[in-house]
Structure 1
Amino acid sequence: MSLMSTISEEVTPMYEPITYSLREIRNVIPKELFERDMRRGLAYLGRDFALASFAVWSIWAADTIFLRGPVSQLLHSAAIEGLRWLAWLSYWWFQGLILTGIWVIGHECGHGAFSRHQGINDVIGFIIHTSLWTPYFSWKISHHRHHISSGSMEKDQVYVPKTRSDLRIPPNATALDYHEILGDTPLCTLFMLVRQQVLGFPAYLCFNISGPKDYPKWTNHFNPNAVIFTPSQWKVVVLSDLGIGFMIWVYYALCSTWGAITVFKYYGIPWLMVTNWFIMVTYLQHTAPEVPHYRGHAWTFTRGAAATVDRNFLGWQGKFFLHGVAHYHVVHHFFPKMPFYHGEQATRHLKNFLGVHYNSSDDSTFKSLWDTYDRCQFVEDKGGVLFYRDKLGRPSRRAVEEMDGDL
């Protein structure tokens, strides 16, 4: 290890993992916050569908006015084109947020947080997620695995850190070694980040990108025989595939009727924004220099649940359109069946109880994304409690006891 890294680690803040039990944590949260109200969930879903419909009507009306209304006679063509672009950019931004909020409600259904009736949850969740190109049952199954093993280097399903050996960084690396292996230009880093945001979710579903490294090649969410699933889950995986197949037919029919460009403008680009927001939210929820990952016996459910971050994601827009999915994620990992509309109140109790073990950030969303992507490069090959190291091999924290899975 380089002298720079050695000196850095001598002054790195120490970290002692959480030792509370799930029962202790649950006892500090009022029982009424675990109650599920289907009528309230339906009200939020109805609101979101109304907003999505209003957004479609608004951009159609605005485009019609700019192209055929009296405005087209009063303004220069360049001004009209500028206003049209402004209107469409606004539509893509807000419709993307609205549809992401609808996707979040489908996610609630998958956890059983929408209502007490799992059949109703699955019907609503299947319709929502299928309409947004997510194989509902297949993703529900892998997402459940993520929740029961969050933060585990061996068992977590997503955002499993790369190790020193994965990147072929020698144990005695110097500052020059780190620069040669990790020292991308800002432009290259930006390209890789944009690629993650646009292709991350489809790549995970289709190719297990960012998933467990020990899964067989070609593991994906559409193969009912994939290692992700058990034989008893074969039928629901096929049902999810049929749903996506139906969406392909619907999309083809819409393109045949309205034209591919029109469909892409009204639906395709907002859907790309959904994948962007989904990846950004989940990446920032589970990735930060100060948040640990665990190996072997050092991992417990409560440690994994606490190894998440609440973020002030897009401010009021994240709270309103995304139902606070990023603002109150820590409590969601402890209690995934808790409805999202109780998240804020439950988080107050959780924060007071966890103290220093509660992770949150008020940094601006896009700055957080850049800083996190730039700083979180890899973790060590050995050790039970692991923290990301930056492009010079420096960690932001280290465990009180450096033990190989026995902390």
Structure 2
Amino acid sequence: MANCGIVKWDEDNTSLFHKMAAGLVLSGSASLIKPFTQSLPIPTTRFILNNNNPSNTIHLHFKDPIFSSKPTTNSRWAVKVSAPLIIPSIDEQDFERERVSLDEQEPEQDDVFDAGASPPFKLADIRAAIPKHCWVKDPWRSMSYVARDVVIVLGLAAAAAHLNNWCVWPLYWAAQGTMFWALFVLGHDCGHGSFSNNPKLNSVVGHLLHSSILVPYHGWRISHRTHHQNHGHVENDESWHPLTEKTFKSLDWITRTLRFTLPFPMLAYPFYLWNRSPGKRGSHFDPSSDLFVPVEKKDVITSTICWTTMFALILGLNFVVGPLQMLKLYGIPYLINVMWLDFVTYLHHHGHEDKLPWYRGKEWSYLRGGLSTIDRDYGWINNIHHDIGTHVVHHLFPQIPHYHLIEATEAAKPVLGKYYREPKKSSPLPFHLLGELIRSLKKDHYVSDTGDILYYQTDPKLSKK
């Protein structure tokens, strides 16, 4: 302990000191000092401490009838002591050391967020926080977006065909491929029923939009519904769900490499439509696939016919304008659209700096699965592709129209708390998301075959590529 300073000690108090010392010796034990049984003078509380004196001299005076005589001339003598004024017991010393030790430690992080924990709110709490008008579907407003996008698509194609210049074609491919993706998002709204309250209108518009970019509307609509209903469930989710370790290790090296090496994962969608993901069987074009129930057979056949009609139209146009012109006008924009689709949907479910949980068994719930999605900011592209990057609220409530998603998300955020992951702000073009994609493909490879709350694990061989 620190030096207590200098105590002013009167010679008349010497016998008192002897009595106190004797009492301590006779009454002490191995670990405790018992109180005195006789009445002894008690130090007064008059401690004179001079803060300006570096020695911090303390003058201690005793009051007792026995020592009522005046101090002698030797009272000016002072004794330097280094022991504390009050000698603590061994127990008190231990407690002091423990207190200091705890003070030196960093404070406990009692509020560390566990993304896999069950949230302290319910789906109904989020729903109640969202304004009622956000649930209103305006078919006229929805159709206005369709008209806008179709006019832009036709205008871009006409301009590119007219100019037919190799300085123009790359710009056209990027723009038109992005607009094809925008058409997909509107058809996606039709599939969710957020386009309008009229199922027939949703079906007609959805078929026209999706068939134009070679997507079987009902086949995709049903499998996408399965994805929303089971998102976050390792076995039951439908798209971009994790492979189990056993399935991952059963893949041949070509399939494994293609799945996790750019640009191949960004070209996966057409193959997914025909043959689904590794570990699952069936086709979006086959009405007998286990993707569908018997009552959906007619819908799947209808969509397959529409898809086939569009494919035949494209083949026919090859004979009219030539294969090279069709490749430039339609083929390359279609591939850009596929890349947008895979890019956006992948990043909705992967690539966050904090690991996202996946579930099995009783740990899974619709709410917990939906909360493991991620919002993304795409800069200028947000408006072009109808704010589909605002994805968490969309996953929880897919019936909300896209033009209300931003407002609904802002209203829901106070309820979601840390379960909402604020997206990084984008520059006009979302180039920052390329880094997120590359990092994720290097580390998010598979999950364990066992356990109910799971996180992606990494194959060291793939992480080095």
Q: Report the TM-score, using the length of structure 1 for normalisation.
A: 0.79
Return the offset for 1:297.
Answer: 0.7
Q: Which residue of 2 aligns with 1:194?
A: 263
Q: Which of 370, 393, 400 is the matching residue for 1:331?
A: 393
Q: Structure 2 counterpart of 1:367, which letter?
A: G
RMSD: 2.3
Q: Determine whether 1:301 maps to 2:370.
A: no
Q: Structure 2 counterpart of 1:312, which letter?
A: D
What are the residue-to-residue correspondences of 1:103-182 with 2, within 5 Å?
A: 103-168=184-249
Contact 2:234/2:360 (8 A) holds in 1: yes
SS in structure 1 at match of 2:333 = helix
Q: Determine whether 1:282 maps to 2:350.
A: no
Return the alpha-carbon distance in structure 2 between the equivalents of residues 361 and 17 of structure 1.
22
Q: Whose helix fraction is larger, Structure 1's or Structure 2's?
A: 1
Return the offset for 1:189.
Answer: 7.6
Q: Determine whether 1:43 maps to 2:144.
A: yes
Contact 1:100/1:277 (8 A) holds in 2: yes
Return the alpha-carbon distance in structure 2 between the equivalents of residues 100 and 58 of structure 1.
19
Return the alpha-carbon distance in structure 1 between the equivalents of residues 401 and 313 of structure 2.
32
SS in structure 2 at match of 1:269 = helix
Return the alpha-carbon distance in structure 2 between the equivalents of residues 59 and 245 of structure 1.
27
Q: Which residue of 1 aligns with 2:182?
A: 101
Return the offset for 1:85.
Answer: 3.1
Q: Which residue of 1 aligns with 2:89?
A: none
Q: Structure 2 counterpart of 1:281, which letter?
A: V
Return the alpha-carbon distance in structure 2 between the equivalents of residues 261 and 204 of structure 1.
27
282 and 168 in structure 1: CA distance in 2 versus 1, 3 angstrom threshold: same
Q: Structure 2 counterpart of 1:208, which letter?
A: R
Greater alpha carbon shift after TM alignment, 188-197 vs 149-158: 188-197
SS in structure 2 at match of 1:193 = coil
Contact 2:214/2:311 (8 A) holds in 1: no
SS in structure 2 at match of 1:143 = helix
Aligned residues: 338
392 and 360 in structure 1: CA distance in 2 versus 1, 3 angstrom threshold: farther
Q: Structure 2 counterpart of 1:17, which letter?
A: S
Return the offset for 1:20.
Answer: 2.4
Q: Which residue of 1 aligns with 2:129?
A: 28
Q: Structure 2 counterpart of 1:141, which letter?
A: I
Q: Determine whether 1:291 maps to 2:356.
A: yes
Q: Structure 1 counterpart of 2:266, which letter?
A: Q
Q: Structure 2 counterpart of 1:20, which letter?
A: F
235 and 355 in structure 1: CA distance in 2 versus 1, 3 angstrom threshold: same
Percent of aligned pairs with the same residue? 32
What are the residue-to-residue correspondences of 1:258-273 with 2, within 5 Å?
A: 258-273=321-336
Q: Which residue of 2 aligns with 1:174?
A: none
96 and 300 in structure 1: CA distance in 2 versus 1, 3 angstrom threshold: same
Q: Which residue of 2 aligns with 1:79?
A: none
SS in structure 2 at match of 1:265 = helix
Return the offset for 1:192.
Answer: 2.5
Contact 2:161/2:329 (8 A) holds in 1: no
Return the offset for 1:299.
Answer: 0.3
Return the alpha-carbon distance in structure 1 between the equivalents of residues 207 and 258 of structure 2.
36
Return the alpha-carbon distance in structure 2 between the equivalents of residues 208 and 145 of structure 1.
13
> Unaligned stretches of 5+ in structure 2?
1-111, 427-431
SS in structure 1 at match of 2:134 = helix
Return the alpha-carbon distance in structure 2 between the equivalents of residues 135 and 189 of structure 1.
25
SS in structure 1 at match of 2:457 = coil
Q: Which residue of 2 aligns with 1:71?
A: none
